Amino acid sequence: MNTTPAPRIAVVGAGPGGLTFARILQRHGIPVTVHDRDGGPDARDQGGTLDLHRDNGQIALREAGLLEEFHRLSRPEGQEMRQLNPSGDLVFHHVPEEGERTKPEIDRGVLRDLLLGSLRPGTVRWGSAVEAVEGPAGGPRRLRFADGSAVEADLVVGADGAWSRVRRAVSPATPRYTGVSFLEAWFHDVDNRHPEIAELVGRGSAAAADGDRALFAQRNGGDHIRVYVIQRTPVDRPTAAGPAPGHTDAVRARLLESFRDWSPELRRLITDNDGRYVDRPIHALPVPHTWEHDPGVTLLGDAAHLMPPLGVGVNLAMLDACELALAVAGSDSLGAAVRAYESTMLPRSTAMQELLDGGAEELLSPELPDFATGDAR
């Protein structure tokens, strides 16, 4: 009888990457604990809609045994993409074919609920804010939490996003501001309350840019639309950039002046939003971002390779999670599994980082990325 104790695997971050990793491990009979600083699954808004691609995000869901359920919950009509010029003229329109599943949309909250519901009760420890990863490189590692408690783990997986605390255990790198920032605006009950905007955006996304500023609108589930006002903004914002996002009327006035030459139809995306604006400055990790192999700590998703938001982030995070989980399940040692995973993940992420380096600026170009075909450049 095998008396070898099960490895102690701790994931930090209950986003799509961390939860996908945990789900696949559990399917292979491997115990895992996920720690998240949020007080619970509904502690904050999970953000907008995601397109999960057939060649990465959907591969991970297949290994998680959740692909069919994903297709049931997703919105294939969300693959529609419209590009307009600042005058409001339609210059490109992609309408998905019947049955097209190349990259259907799903709301972040819906995807998270799908993954959370697939895990064994108690897998996620809410309110577990990790402050540091301590201990020698050879392990075991010690997770120290904000409340003063601590646990030991044989493998710590950092799935804790852009400002990862786990990253500090293997890399000194920190995200850098790209010079481009989003202001997020929300529209609710759009078919009834905002029919002109609903018609402009369609069932998927609509975008327009003039080289210095851009608008990107996405249909979400539940009859919501999110709009992102994209601008170059100085590093020392908000003082150099004008009023803070919470000062809605002042921000709106400033935006209307900036977009004064755009069509009235597009300016509705600035004037008609429900509630305040939310500031989303765009950061990215240095290119390339790599680290020395550590058998007891590794990273996935934005913790490993934060890039501009050009449609690949969550897909790479879920593919990372899938490959790491399968490596752990198929290896006799955690160190060998981590090395095998990083030997594939790091070259892939480096290539994508190099491809998207400076990509935040391209969001302002009149030649916007063709989101409909997945060509990020």
Q: Are residue 155 and residue 50 in the same domain, yes or no?
A: yes
User: What's the domain range around 208?
Assistant: 178-284
Residue 1 in this model has a pLDDT that exceeds 60: no
pLDDT of 207: 96
pLDDT of 366: 86
Each residue of 172-197: pLDDT tens digit? 999 999 999 999 999 999 999 999 99
Distance of CA 291 to the CA centre of its chain: 22
Q: Give binding residues for NADPH as ranges.
A: 44
Torsion of CA 91, 92, 93, 94, to 10 degrees: 180
How many residues can be counted in the chain? Answer: 377
3 state DSSP class of 283:
strand
Q: Give the CATH number, domain containing residue 277.
A: 3.30.9.30
pLDDT of 246: 62
Of 284, 309, 334, the residue at which a domain comes to its end is 284
Longest dimension (CA), the chain: 76
Q: Give the CATH number, domain containing residue 135.
A: 3.50.50.60
Query: What whole-number distance in Å separates Cα of residue 10 and Cα of residue 39?
Result: 18
User: DSSP readout, 14-35?
Assistant: -SHHHHHHHHHHHHTT---EEE
pLDDT of 360: 84
Q: Are residue 315 and residue 342 in the same domain, yes or no?
A: yes
Q: What percent of the chain has pLDDT over 90?
A: 84
Task: Specify if 134 maps to a domain.
Answer: yes
pLDDT of 85: 96
Q: Are residue 142 and residue 212 in the same domain, yes or no?
A: no
pLDDT of 369: 52
> In the predicted model, what is the mean pLDDT of residues 306-310?
91
Each residue of 96-140: pLDDT tens digit? 999 899 999 999 999 999 999 999 999 999 999 999 999 998 789
Q: Give binding residues for FAD as ranges.
A: 51, 108, 302
Q: Are residue 271 and residue 205 in the same domain, yes or no?
A: yes
Task: Specify if 374 maps to a domain.
Answer: no
Q: Are residue 64 and residue 142 in the same domain, yes or no?
A: yes
Task: Specify if 372 maps to a domain.
Answer: no
- Say if residues 233 and 281 touch (Cβ distance below 8 Å): yes
Q: Of 194, 195, 200, which is closest to residue 90 (Cα–Cα)?
A: 200
Task: Specify if 365 maps to a domain.
Answer: no
Q: Are residue 234 and residue 336 in the same domain, yes or no?
A: no
Each residue of 201-255: pLDDT tens digit? 999 999 999 999 999 999 999 999 999 999 998 865 543 445 566 688 899 999 9
- Say if residues 372 and 51 touch (Cβ distance below 8 Å): no
Task: Specify if 222 maps to a domain.
Answer: yes
Name the least confident of 51-55, 248-252, 315-319.
248-252
Of 233, 252, 284, the residue at which a domain comes to its end is 284
Task: Specify if 364 maps to a domain.
Answer: no
pLDDT of 239: 38
Query: What whole-number distance in Å separates Cα of residue 257 and Cα of residue 244?
Result: 16
Q: Are residue 32 and residue 58 in the same domain, yes or no?
A: yes
Q: Are residue 205 and residue 165 in the same domain, yes or no?
A: no
Of 266, 284, 302, the residue at which a domain comes to its end is 284
Q: Are residue 204 and residue 336 in the same domain, yes or no?
A: no
Q: Give binding residues as ranges.
A: 44, 51, 108, 302
Q: Are residue 272 and residue 230 in the same domain, yes or no?
A: yes
Q: Are residue 23 and residue 136 in the same domain, yes or no?
A: yes
Task: Specify if 52 maps to a domain.
Answer: yes
Q: Are residue 314 and residue 355 in the same domain, yes or no?
A: yes
pLDDT of 58: 97
Angle, helices 248-258/264-271, rounded to nearest 10 degrees: 160
Q: How many domains in the chain?
A: 2
